[in-house]
Structure 1
Amino acid sequence: MNNNTTQIKRALISVSDKTGLIEFAKGLSELGVEIISTGGTYKKLLENKIPAIEISEFTGFPEMMHGRVKTLHPLVHGGILGLRDSHAEVAQEHDIKWIDLVVVNLYPFSATIQKPDVSEEEVIENIDIGGPSMIRSAAKNIGWVGIAVDVNDYQSILEEIKNNNGLSFATRKKLSA
């Protein structure tokens, strides 16, 4: 387990709640972090002139099945789960690029099911699969990867990356809980 500070070179951002997104992504970009993003998040970043790579460009595979399959891809999860000190050869062999920070918040399932007259179809479409998978992958690899699921953590993450050239193990561990 790596317990040293991890430099943040690449972040994957896929958020339903876009509160604070622009300021956070702009801050990451200004710190030289490459941003990969999905669907509506990607569009929001582009609208605000924040450089980002669309997930389908990153994976070489299109979003499919009406957006149900976006991030469920070996290049994404390999980039998150890979142990930098022991999986580098396999990563290089399969063109897997490390993802050092995962920024995800989930579809608003609780709010959706409480809406009057909500359809079963809408409820089903608000069951997030990719988001929890990325969160779990990042949490499993806290030795190398940071995870942000709470917009209230954005500022402190930016400050730590700026001041320490990365995220400490203590911070990565706290964020994964």
Structure 2
Amino acid sequence: MAKNVVEKVDDQVKINTLLVSVSDKSGLDTLIPGMIAVNPDLVILSTGGTFSRIKEILGPGADMHLQQVSDYTGQPETQGGLVKTLDFKIYLGLLTETYNQAHQADLVRTKARPIDMVVVNLYPFAQTIARPDMTLENARGNIDIGGPTMIRAAAKNFIRVASVTNPEDYSKILEKLTAGKGCLTLADRYDLAARAFAHTAAYDRAIADYLAGTAGTALLSCYQPGV
């Protein structure tokens, strides 16, 4: 099987399409208007409570920039938000490469658009298991699937995509976007990718440690197989 070898990469990539899905919504009131000020044509894809918060931030002009992921993909969110962003069009947008003709043909075929930045932070697993009333089922429900997958896809494709995981980085990113006239450099994207993989690694480590620890002893009392 032929391997995909990247031979050309852009240093500067303009952020035209932004995907936002966050548990911690702090800082969005600064980030979102700031990014639109830098690029008035910015398209924002979002989900659930994040969509509602961004719509509130943008007010009457929200529809000029903001679109529900479910409207973009044509697939409604499942009950309880179980599946929101795990969609072929989303991952084409994250993983395709600018100078790969087959990738570009896939975007055209599916009417997908390249996604240039994800802003994602994860369900609060560590905070959940620290609560005194925590149960194994509560912990299981706070294992994020879509979030880490988006972060990892964006970080893997740092040659084109920026992966933002920490609200404390928003101000610095806005400074870079302003200085770069809406663009981030390859060095910027590489740095964000390294931080993103560290973020998901720590998240997975917390889950693994929890499941390998005391949680297993509660399994039989928490669930009744076959009932």
TM-score of the alignment, normalized to the shorter chain, above 0.5: yes
Task: Show the 5 A alignment for 1:110-149.
Answer: 110-149=126-165
Q: What residue is the counterpart of 1:85 in the other structure?
A: 99
**Offset of residue 5 of structure 1:** 0.8
**Offset of residue 49 of structure 1:** 2.3
**Offset of residue 153 of structure 1:** 1.2
In the alignment, structure 2 segments of 5+ residues that lack a partner are 1-5, 195-227
Q: Tell me, what secondary structure is at the counterpart of 1:66?
A: helix
Distance 2:171 2:99 in 1: 29
In the alignment, structure 1 segments of 5+ residues that lack a partner are none
**Offset of residue 119 of structure 1:** 2.6
- CA offset digits 1:65-89 (Å, max 9, x no partner): 3201000001111100111211111
Match 1:11 to one of 14, 18, 23? 18
Runs (4+) of structure 1 exceeding 3 A deviation are: none
Instruction: State TM-score, norm by structure 1.
Output: 0.95
Indicate the RMSD between aligned Cα atoms, in angstroms: 1.2
Contact 1:29/1:35 (8 A) holds in 2: no
Distance 1:35 1:78 in 2: 16
Distance 1:156 1:89 in 2: 35
Distance 1:97 1:76 in 2: 8
- CA offset digits 1:93-141 (Å, max 9, x no partner): 1111110000000011000011112133321111000000000000110
Does structure 1 residue 43 correspond to structure 2 residue 60?
no
Distance 1:22 1:128 in 2: 24
Q: Identify which of structures 1 and 2 has the higher relative contact order when contacts are C-alpha pairs closer than 8 Å and 6+ apart.
A: 1
Q: What residue is the counterpart of 1:57 in the other structure?
A: 71
Q: Tell me, what secondary structure is at the counterpart of 2:189?
A: helix
Instruction: State TM-score, norm by structure 2.
Output: 0.75
Match 2:185 to one of 136, 148, 168? 168
Deviates more, 1:156-165 or 1:105-114: 156-165
Distance 1:158 1:60 in 2: 31
Deviates more, 1:21-30 or 1:74-83: 21-30
Distance 1:147 1:175 in 2: 6
Distance 1:121 1:26 in 2: 38
Does structure 1 residue 157 correspond to structure 2 residue 194?
no
Q: Tell me, what secondary structure is at the counterpart of 2:77?
A: coil
Contact 1:83/1:144 (8 A) holds in 2: yes
Distance 2:152 2:80 in 1: 23
Distance 1:153 1:176 in 2: 13
**Offset of residue 3 of structure 1:** 4.5
Q: Larger Rg: 1 or 2?
A: 2
